[in-house]
A = this chain, B = another copy of it.
Amino acid sequence: MQKFVIVGGDAAGMSAAMQIVRRLPDASVVALEMGDTFSYAQCGLPYYIGGDIPETDNLIARSAETFRNKYGIDARTYHKVTKIHPSEKTVDFINMQSGEAGTVPYDRLLIATGARPVVPEWEGIDLQGVFVLKTIRDAERIREYVRNGEVNKCVIIGGGPIGIEMAEALSASEKKVTILDRNPQLATAWNSEIAEIAKQHMEENGVLVKPEQNVKGIVGQNGKAAAVETESETLEADLVLLAVGVAPNSELAKDAGVQLGVRNAIQVNARMETNLPGIYAAGDVAVHYHRVKKKDDYIPLGTTANKQGRIAGINMSGEQAAFAGIVGSAVMKVFELGLARTGLSRKEAEDLGMEVEVVTINTKDHAGYYPNAEDLSIQLIVEKSAGQLVGGQAAGKSGADKRVDVLATALYHELTVHELLDLDLTYAPPFNGVWDPIQQAARRF
């Protein structure tokens, strides 16, 4: 009987486990999860805090019990893996509830330990009222603190997707929200023009947006957070959310001799194999091959974790599958706005030495004469010499995600900007213009 061990019971790990049990019903599959929850929808947490989602139970796709009883996976919570022994093909764990230690053998091992929020070494970081958002417990703590405490002013440090989604979530509780970023703009994965649309919309919704802020520390009063101190000012804050990025939980792998890559994520090939025989990695702890950059990158997202986990599981089962790579697609809700992107931003392209033209069009999501046409801004990032499409971005109350999904599909096959004009996209006045906005943009190149 083949023995599989999965370290980490979230998207990547359990996608792999499901592929294995489906292919090898007699195999032994042990899934060791350090926390108390398997397979939860991390991306839903801001909406639980904001109140759109009533219970955290809504966010649990499958419980440990389901994995055990329905799929025969030995899914264990509170099991922290302490060491991997590649030569013995075993892993040591400790049961964090009982304190008991143990060892499980494996033929094939998946490291799917995910990522953790980066916590800077600032003064006051341990004060009450200072949070990160990663787990269901984090979300419950924040929601409770917001509802039961005396929170009026929230400062969010970091203007990426989590920071921005949390700005909306905390505004829903009628708190005064300020969001800081050390960069000249929020949403640095987007071009400045698109990020500016988001900034204005956030400000219209009462959020104070402060770019170019270097945080020095958090000031407390009676053990609770009271203010955030930056190099230029002091901002009152009853609640501070740290959203300055994530780092892969790759230490366990590194200690075992697994090779790391970009940003200390685990180096994997297209089959999700590490450098050590029988050891695979996937999801937020692994590198992600970027099809447009044509090299590994580190962009941890749930979609990618599910895909990589699936690929890992197929290969671990003895079949063949290759991860095709990401193209850098993402979308986020910014109050009423959708902000979407795929491929390379202007900066990413320039960092790779490409000479690009950014074509912008400000148009409507559907025929202008049909009711409720909404503003939609589209940018195409085009490599100049050959007219190669290398990226696309969009912002609007309706249809930004749709256009970027089309562009993501186009990037998959390396379409030129000219070929975008050939696409036979659906049209009727309530849904589109007779030339889709991405084609309107392409015609400007």
Which residues of A, 408-422, contact B by the 8 Å Cβ criterion?
408-410, 412-413, 415, 419, 421-422
Q: Are A303 and B434 in contact (CB under 8 A)?
A: yes
Which residues of A, 284-331, contact B by the 8 Å Cβ criterion?
291, 301-304, 306-307, 310, 324-331
Instruction: List 22 interface pairs A-B (beta carbons < 8 Å), by A numbering.
Output: A43-B367, A47-B429, A53-B369, A161-B428, A301-B427, A303-B427, A303-B435, A324-B419, A327-B424, A329-B424, A330-B427, A331-B432, A333-B431, A401-B426, A401-B431, A401-B432, A402-B402, A405-B406, A405-B425, A406-B406, A409-B409, A409-B410
Known: A431-B401, A434-B303. A326 touches B424 (CB 8 A): yes
User: Size band of the A side of the interface?
Assistant: 35 or more
Q: Which residue of B lies closest to A333 (CB)?
A: B430
Q: Are B428 and A306 in contact (CB under 8 A)?
A: no
User: What number of copies of this chain does the assembly contain?
Assistant: 2
Q: Does A342 contact B (CB under 8 A)?
A: yes
Contacts of A358 in B (CB 8 A): none
A156 CB to closest chain B CB, in angstroms?
A: 17
Known: A401-B432, A402-B402, A434-B303. A427 touches B52 (CB 8 A): no
Q: Does A217 contact B (CB under 8 A)?
A: no
Complex partner residue of A405 from B304, B310, B405, CB under 8 angstroms? B405
Q: Which residue of B lies closest to A322 (CB)?
A: B422
Q: Give the docked Cα–Cα distance between A66 and B383 (Å).
A: 35
Q: Are A421 and B58 in contact (CB under 8 A)?
A: no
Complex partner residue of A422 from B324, B369, B404, CB under 8 angstroms? B324
Q: Does A338 contact B (CB under 8 A)?
A: yes
| Partner-B contacts on A (CB < 8 A) | 11, 41, 43-44, 47, 52-53, 58-59, 161, 165, 291, 301-304, 306-307, 310, 324-333, 338, 340, 342, 367, 369-371, 399, 401-402, 404-406, 408-410, 412-413, 415, 419, 421-432, 434-436
Q: Give the docked Cα–Cα distance between A53 and B371 (Å).
A: 7
Q: A41-B369, A47-B370, A165-B428 are in contact. List 16 more A-B contacts (CB 8 A).
A: A43-B428, A43-B429, A324-B422, A325-B422, A327-B424, A329-B424, A329-B425, A331-B427, A333-B428, A333-B430, A401-B402, A402-B405, A404-B426, A408-B425, A409-B409, A412-B424
Contacts of A325 in B (CB 8 A): 422, 424
What are the 6 tightest A-B residue pairs by CB atom distance, in nearest-first order?
A: A324-B422, A331-B426, A402-B402, A409-B409, A413-B413, A58-B369
Contacts of A423 in B (CB 8 A): 408-409, 412
Complex partner residue of A303 from B43, B53, B424, CB under 8 angstroms? B424
Complex partner residue of A421 from B307, B327, B401, CB under 8 angstroms? B307
Q: Give the docked Cα–Cα distance between A331 and B303 (Å).
A: 27
